[in-house]
Structure 1
Amino acid sequence: MTYLTDEMRKRLDLLLSEAGACPIDLPVLYHADLFVDLIGEDIRRRLYVAPGSNGEAMALRPEFTIPACLHHLSGGAADRPASYACIGPVFRQREDGAPGEFYQAGIEQIDPDGGVEFDANSVARAVLLVESLSAQKPVVTIGDLALFSSLLTALDAPAVWQRRLEGAFGDRKVLDRMLARLEKGGSENHGASAGLAKILDGKATSDVRDAVEEMLSIAGLTTVGGRSVGDIAERYMEKAELAAKAGWDADKLDVISRYLSISGSLDDSLERLTAFNAQEGGPLGAALQQFSDRIVAIRNAVPQGTPLQFKADFGRRLDYYSGFNFELNFDGQDKPVAGGGRYDRLLGLLAPRAKTDLGADIQAVPAIGFVIWLDRLTNA
């Protein structure tokens, strides 16, 4: 079942056109390393991958954002404004036994002047699409990696720990396990990791990467468990660095845990965040003001009466996301019917891989997107 009837397709086309989004047709097949390197472990371990005629691993597209950004890069300057409408099947293995081919629809936007109104516009479009297609009012949940990153920086988190915590953001169980490990010294197997630390002491990341690549080549592998050579090399370096550290300050870990527990309506959450920030000496910095401005913009943009809530530990597990995230749910349902977020770094990361002469010197370009799961919407 495709969950995309002719009637729904016509309605989607009309709604996306009214939103000013230009429809684009995207290929289904891509080099797998595009997703392995950039999309995050949660999805890359569920890719459908097969060898191409030249031996390179190819993957069915698991989502629209990376393909849409490649399309954008092939058409001109990376920082030109654009709004793309994407409708069609995506492919990834799903743990709930649902079909691995399912339909999504969404909008990807790029705007060099994008600010909090840019974010609010994306949320409002997602809400309007979901309401129009379902005749139900969704609950909007927002989160912000920028607030969490600002807190970690203010607490002087070691760089390797900050990367790991930011990488796990959005999965509270994983974050809690990491915090518990950090209190003990960072490694679950300190003896083995301490030996690894001695071996890698003073080694450059590039040298470790070359060694890992050679070992995998001997074994006839290019990836392990969905991780690329670069991922594995960096993980070795991280484990070695973690083993060389003593346990982190328990008071700082408590500050992080208290921050992650903040949630509620936007008004209540802003009050709690402001009080927390004052109590701890201002660790949230400019990110808190931006969050406050975004709340105002979202309230002004979405339909009146839309339920809005914030969760400090909420994030969507995609590596290319760079800050603000959101999801739409219906009451009584665990799985979101829509979700999106900012990915300002992605165009710069993709530029060297795209068939373009733009080069690799593209800086951050404000970009945001969202998708709707049409099967979940139909079931709802």
Structure 2
Amino acid sequence: MVALIALFEREGYARVEPPVLQPADVFIDLSGEDIRRRMFVTQDASGAELCLRPEYTIPVCLQHLSRRGARPSGYSYGGPVFRMRPNESGEFLQAGIESIGRSDIAGADAEILGLALEGLSLIGGPAPIVRLGDMGLLHALIDALGVAPAAKRRVIRAIVSGQGLASLSEAEGPAAQEHAGLLAAIEGQAPQAAKAFVEDILSIAGIATVGGRSAGEIAERFLARAANRTVLSNEARQVLERYLTISGDPDQAADAVRLLAKDAGLDLGPAIGLFEERTGFMAARELDVSAFSFAATFARNLDYYTGFIFEVQDPRRSDGKPIVGGGRYDRLLEHLGAESPIPAVGCSFWLDRIVGRP
């Protein structure tokens, strides 16, 4: 870890060490179900929930906002993190870097990946396997298809969870169509607000019970129905399914996405342009782009990633778990209290997997 931190500091990433105890609600709101289920949670004297630091990105971002605001900064870190992992220790060491506030998106992405690979070369080992993805391309495609925001969240969650589009519900038939207006009205609302809305509708209609069910129980059934509505047209589903088959090196992937956009009549020019610009910066850093593998289905299991994502694997490991992972999270700092979005990208090293590989 010492060699890694020294490399990062030489490159302008100042060493920081956020507190081990962190506010639990921040991770529960922003990190997704994967980390939420695996945190070690406790309470302070006032009853507020705290957690042992499950990762570094959110704590580093909170520290950045308290000290630097929107000013660009680079940070490095190294220390213990805590989360339950099947067949692995719940306390383990991570090191990494976060680049916050840089406007040269493609260049910053390439730098983070380049430093990740340079850091691994310091530690030693065989040529790593590099997997690339791009949540920005996926978001741009879904937006170009005109998918509604609530439906978009479901589509992305299905892809990130690895379940794919097959997990989304099919058409529900005439019964669903009869209540389509009400279902559309509550789709995407917060659960309590949606339930109150349905109860109000029933109250206005003078309905207290139906078939022995209370207004609250009826509202719950409507919420369940809204959650399972069909979210994609056949055309949108076909385009997304074709997109999810795209794989290859970055140049091959860009060509395939450009052809898909042309065939579907969609404008993905800015997203593809950023993708290709990033590849150019990688090549300029003398990274072997042709050896990298892009897959449209690849998504990291944290909700805050918004753009470029990557994982690095050690081919000697039998379990396929990454030894480095990272990506871009341009909306995270706004969720943490920034007045507007602040671009950011970073990566973490699983040091226990690098030192103690199976």
1:263-313 CA-partner distances (Å, limit 9, x unpaired): 111222222222222221134332111111111112222545782121111
Of 79, 90, 99, the match for 1:88: 79
CA 1:247–1:28 in structure 2 vs 1: closer, same or farther (change >3 Å)? closer
Alignment check: 8 A CA contact 1:264 1:311 kept: yes
* Pair 1:64-2:71 in alignment: no
Q: Determine the C-alpha separation between the residues in 2 that align with 1:277 and 1:199.
A: 31
Match of 1:339 in 2: 325
Give the CA deviation at 1:55: 1.1
Range with bigger deviation, 132-141 or 86-95: 132-141
Of 95, 101, 119, the match for 1:105: 95
The secondary structure found in structure 1 opposite 2:345 is: strand
Of 340, 343, 346, the match for 1:366: 343
Match of 2:280 in 1: 296
* Pair 1:51-2:43 in alignment: yes
Match of 2:259 in 1: 275
Alignment check: 8 A CA contact 1:142 1:325 kept: yes
Give the CA deviation at 1:239: 4.4
Alignment check: 8 A CA contact 1:29 1:58 kept: yes
State how many pairs are aligned. 332
Q: Determine the C-alpha separation between the residues in 2 that align with 1:278 and 1:201.
A: 34
CA RMSD of aligned residues (A): 3.1
Of 141, 149, 154, the match for 1:164: 154
Match of 1:219 in 2: none
Of 9, 12, 17, the match for 1:17: 9
Of 323, 328, 331, the match for 2:307: 323
CA 1:205–1:250 in structure 2 vs 1: closer, same or farther (change >3 Å)? closer
Give the CA deviation at 1:32: 0.7
Give the CA deviation at 1:204: 9.5
Match of 1:230 in 2: none
The secondary structure found in structure 2 opposite 1:140 is: strand
Alignment check: 8 A CA contact 1:104 1:374 kept: yes
Q: Determine the C-alpha separation between the residues in 2 that align with 1:325 and 1:315.
A: 7
- The residue identity in structure 1 corresponding to 2:313 is N
The secondary structure found in structure 1 opposite 2:322 is: coil
* Pair 1:140-2:130 in alignment: yes
The secondary structure found in structure 2 opposite 1:85 is: strand
Alignment check: 8 A CA contact 2:150 2:188 kept: no
1:111-190 → structure 2 map (5 Å cutoff): 111-172=101-162, 174-179=163-168, 181=169, 183-185=170-172
Q: Determine the C-alpha separation between the residues in 2 that align with 1:65 and 1:310.
A: 24
Q: Determine the C-alpha separation between the residues in 1 that align with 2:120 and 2:2.
A: 15
Range with bigger deviation, 270-279 or 24-33: 270-279
Structure 1 gap ranges (5+):
1-8, 213-234, 352-359
Of 241, 248, 255, the match for 2:226: 241
- The residue identity in structure 1 corresponding to 2:171 is K
Percent of residue pairs identical: 34
Structure 2 gap ranges (5+):
197-219
Q: Determine the C-alpha separation between the residues in 1 that align with 2:28 and 2:46.
A: 19
1:6-48 CA-partner distances (Å, limit 9, x unpaired): xxx3322322222221111210001110100011111111111
Give the CA deviation at 1:134: 2.4
Range with bigger deviation, 26-35 or 285-294: 285-294
Give the CA deviation at 1:85: 0.8
CA 1:238–1:14 in structure 2 vs 1: closer, same or farther (change >3 Å)? farther
The secondary structure found in structure 2 opposite 1:99 is: coil
1:224-270 CA-partner distances (Å, limit 9, x unpaired): xxxxxxxxxxx999745355x55743232122111101011122222
Q: Determine the C-alpha separation between the residues in 2 that align with 1:249 and 1:157.
A: 9
Q: Determine the C-alpha separation between the residues in 1 that align with 2:266 and 2:293.
A: 23
- The residue identity in structure 2 corresponding to 1:88 is G
Q: Determine the C-alpha separation between the residues in 2 that align with 1:117 and 1:100.
A: 35
Give the CA deviation at 1:202: 6.0
Q: Determine the C-alpha separation between the residues in 2 that align with 1:204 and 1:88.
A: 39
Q: Determine the C-alpha separation between the residues in 2 that align with 1:320 and 1:368.
A: 11
Q: Determine the C-alpha separation between the residues in 2 that align with 1:113 and 1:256.
A: 30
Of 241, 255, 268, the match for 1:284: 268
- The residue identity in structure 2 corresponding to 1:59 is C
Q: Determine the C-alpha separation between the residues in 1 that align with 2:232 and 2:72.
A: 44
The secondary structure found in structure 2 opposite 1:272 is: helix
Q: Determine the C-alpha separation between the residues in 2 that align with 1:363 and 1:185.
A: 40
Alignment check: 8 A CA contact 1:171 1:313 kept: no
Q: Determine the C-alpha separation between the residues in 1 that align with 2:231 and 2:154.
A: 15
- The residue identity in structure 1 corresponding to 2:78 is I
TM-score, length-scaled by structure 2 = 0.83
1:329-358 CA-partner distances (Å, limit 9, x unpaired): 12254111101111111111112xxxxxxx
Alignment check: 8 A CA contact 2:250 2:289 kept: no
Give the CA deviation at 1:371: 0.3
CA 1:238–1:265 in structure 2 vs 1: closer, same or farther (change >3 Å)? farther
Alignment check: 8 A CA contact 2:93 2:351 kept: yes
TM-score, length-scaled by structure 1 = 0.78
